[in-house]
Amino acid sequence: MGERLHGKRALVTGAASGIGRAVATRFAAEGAQVVFADRDLIGAEQAVQDLPGAVAVRMDVTDEDSVRAAYEQVLTDGAPLDVVVANAGVQLFGQDAPIADLDLEVWRRTIEVNLTGTFLTVKHAVRAMTGRSGANRGGSIICTGSPTGLNGEGRDFTAYSSSKAGVHGLVRTVAAAYAHEGIRVNTVVPGYTETPLVTAISGDEASRAAIVSRTPLGRAGTPADVEGIMVYLAGDEASFATGAIFRVDGGMTSL
């Protein structure tokens, strides 16, 4: 592993498991000082074991006081925060549904975590990154999107699809508003990626086969498939990339 993020400080939400944990761990391997942020503090603490310089903080992305406190904790020493990955999310299998059958509380819970949680994470990331100059100017914010926010892949997941479409729109808006500050904001769209979030699919042979069949590369994704593009966007190689959608979905949204 190289040192492409040497000297950078990064915060990743949802870092106790799945894509978030894989990305945060890869950032550490690439030389970054990484904050593993998650509402599951025990899981985050377990994730940082044996990672020198990595720390765990509790952050409930649906609670602005929790988000604010986590950022304040991270920034106490005055060192800049260069990268934030807004990754925390939920997909309520067995509850999310086509709109005529969707319960309002399922809608609200999904939007609260996926869209409002991203809003709060990005809001405080921007506050941490604005007004800096010289080598510390700006930063990179990366949000985790979904194919369901781009096409009809999530037709049975009204709340989840809508929340991720909202994230895509939020990224474009924030990227345009803060480019003058040197803050870059991009979306990474993983395809079907086997993590604890999707056990309802991965544990059902027929469902898994159906979604893999819609992926031109012919296999499920893994968290490791997402790490590389996140490293690129976090680093200086991506200094001219902002407001964009980077698809790592095995070709799913190319159809």
> What is the structure's pLDDT at 252?
85
- Domain assignment present for residue 4? The answer is no
Range of the domain at 64: 9-254
Q: What is the pLDDT of residues 34-49, one digit of tens each?
A: 999 999 999 999 999 9
> What is the structure's pLDDT at 109?
98
Number of domains in the chain: 1
pLDDT at 135 over 80: no
> What is the structure's pLDDT at 142?
98
Please tell me which residue in 160, 178, 192, 232 is annotated as part of the active site: 160
160 given a catalytic annotation: yes
What value does the mean pLDDT take over residues 127-131?
94
- Domain assignment present for residue 158? The answer is yes
Residues 6+ apart with CB under 8 A from 192: 198, 201, 211, 212, 215, 220, 221, 249, 250, 252
Collapsing DSSP states into helix, strand and coil, what is residue 170?
helix
- Domain assignment present for residue 202? The answer is yes
- Domain assignment present for residue 1? The answer is no
- Domain assignment present for residue 28? The answer is yes
- pTM, two decimals, is 0.93
Cβ pair 139, 184 in contact under 8 A: yes
What value does the mean pLDDT take over residues 222-246?
96
Helix (H) or strand (E) holding 211: helix 205-213
- Domain assignment present for residue 85? The answer is yes
> What is the structure's pLDDT at 152?
81
CB burial readout 84-108, b (16+ within 10 A) else e: bbbbbbbbbeeebbeeeebeeebbe
What value does the mean pLDDT take over residues 228-233?
97
Helix (H) or strand (E) holding 120: helix 117-129
Q: What is the pLDDT of residues 71-128, one digit of tens each?
A: 999 999 888 999 999 999 999 999 999 999 999 999 999 999 999 999 999 999 999 9
What value does the mean pLDDT take over residues 147-169?
94
- Domain assignment present for residue 79? The answer is yes
Q: What is the pLDDT of residues 172-229, one digit of tens each?
A: 999 999 999 999 999 999 988 887 766 666 666 777 787 787 788 888 888 899 999 9
Q: Minimum mean pLDDT among 18-22, 149-153, 234-238: which range?
A: 149-153
What value does the mean pLDDT take over residues 2-23?
95
> What is the structure's pLDDT at 134?
81
> What is the structure's pLDDT at 201?
65
Residue 193, domain CATH? 3.40.50.720
